[in-house]
Amino acid sequence: MRLEGKVAVITGASRGIGRETALLFASHGGKIVVADVDPRGQAVADEIVAAGGQARFVHTDVTDREACAALARLATDAFGRIDVLVNNAGIVRDGQLVKLSEREFDLVVDVNLKGTFNVTQAIAPLMVEQRSGRIINVSSVVGLYGNFGQTNYAATKAAVIGMTRVWARELGRKGITVNAVAPGFVATEMTQGVPEKVLDLMREKTPLGRLGTARDVANVYLFLASDDAAYVNGAVLSVDGGLIP
**Residues classed as catalytic:** 153
Q: What angle do CA 196, 89, 178 make, to 5 degrees?
A: 115
Phi, psi of 150 (to 5 degrees): -130, 50
H or E stretch at 176:
strand 176-183
Within the chain, residue ranges assigned H as helices are 16-27, 41-50, 65-79, 102-108, 115-130, 141-145, 151-172, 196-205, 214-225
d(CA 209, CA 224): 26
> Helix or strand or coil: residue 12?
coil
d(CA 45, CA 39): 11
